[in-house]
Amino acid sequence: MKKELVITSDDLGMTLSVNRGIERACELGALTSTNFMVPCPWFEHAAKRFREPDVDLGVHVTLTCEWSNYQWRPLTRAPSLLDRAGRMYQTVADLMAQATVEDIREESRAQIETALQRGLPIGYVDLHMCIPTIVREAGAAPRVANPAFELELMNIVDGVAREFGLPYPYALEGGRLAHFGSAMSISGKGRDEVARYLGSLEPGIHHLSCHCAVDSEEQANLSDAADAEFLWSLPYRAEDLRCITSPWFRELLSEHQVNLVRMPFHT
């Protein structure tokens, strides 16, 4: 078996800066997958540019909005998906404490249906701000150790994806990833951690996620500098783009004989 790696940049459609960053990464051959945030203002812009992509496309089901200076709202306008100010909840914990399961399902369906109605070749469904937390222990296979409320949300969205005949990349079997031998989000981790991850890969298929964006005033001002999520507005995203498109990253892939591939369920 070979060492194979899917690289996904999340959040397509969130902002123009994100769209441009993902476009650039795709042009340079650094990505094999990306996914749409359908409720976001720049979704239509992204949809026009990714009709015949060389990467897999997914719907990044979007049920939360983390930014203090920038908002999007659910397509269904379901009351349980909004806080008292009429904004989407900032965290998955708040969402799962307040939202009804049926409202979550209906909003997820609406977002998937909208992407399909645009004629986009959607191949999978996943979740914004909710990915598996992988724990590695000596002598044991990696396992997923998310809080119960996150696992519940992933299961709900996985169920909706199945209604459309679409896979959920982070589907779990026995507390482990069904489709991948391992997974890592590089955002905010630093290049030493990226190098350690690539160096640790065993034969099989693995998943690396990132969040690309080009530098812009728009992107930098999604949140105020004092906000907890500020680093996710631009610093992490700009570094992700620099990292995966760099000669350093390409040389690391070559050194460890890691091949970039499409999603394992790509058809």
Question: Averaged in consecutive runs of 10 residues, what is the pLDDT profile of the chain (267 residues)?
Answer: 97 98 98 98 97 94 97 97 96 98 98 98 97 84 91 97 98 93 96 97 97 97 95 98 98 98 88
CB 73 within 8 A of CB 39: yes
Amino acid 222: pLDDT: 97
pTM score > 0.85 for this model? yes
Q: Which stretches within 73-147 are classed as H helix?
A: 92-98, 101-117
Amino acid 137: pLDDT: 79
Amino acid 126: pLDDT: 98
Which domains are seen in the chain, by residue range? 3-61+124-260 (3.20.20.370)
pLDDT in tens, 57-68: 999 999 999 999
Gap between the Cα atoms of 256 and 52, Å rounded: 31
pLDDT in tens, 41-92: 999 999 999 988 899 999 999 999 999 999 999 999 999 999 999 999 999 9
CB 142 within 8 A of CB 136: yes
Pairing assessment for the beta strands 56-61 and 258-260 based on DSSP bridges: unpaired
Strand-pairing partners, residue 12, are 36
